[in-house]
Amino acid sequence: MRTSACYREAERLLKRLVRDETGSTAIEYTVIAALIGVVVLAGLGAVGDSLTDNIYGAITEAITEATGGGDEDTS
C-alpha cells in the first residue's frame, strides 16, 4: 500500500515538472547567445590573421614614416 502512494506521488511530481516552463525562456536565450558567440568566434578566426597583419602593417608603416626611416637613400 505504501509503495503505491510513493508511485502516485512520483507520478504527480513528474507531471508537474513536465508542465512547468519556469526558466525555459532563460535557457533558450542562453543557447541563442552561445550560438551567436560561436559564430562570432568562427568569423574572427577566419579573418583574424589578415586583419591582424593589416593593422600591424599600418602601424609599422606609420612608425617608420614618423621616425624618418625606411625609404631613405644612404648611398
**pLDDT tens series, the chain, 75 aa:** 578 888 899 899 888 878 887 778 888 999 999 999 999 888 888 787 787 888 888 999 999 998 887 555 555
Q: 3-class DSSP state for residue 69?
A: coil
Q: What local confidence, expressed as pLDDT, does residue 25 receive?
A: 84
Q: CA-to-CA distance for 74 and 68, rounded, in angstroms?
A: 12
Alpha-helical regions (H) of 1-75: 2-19, 24-66
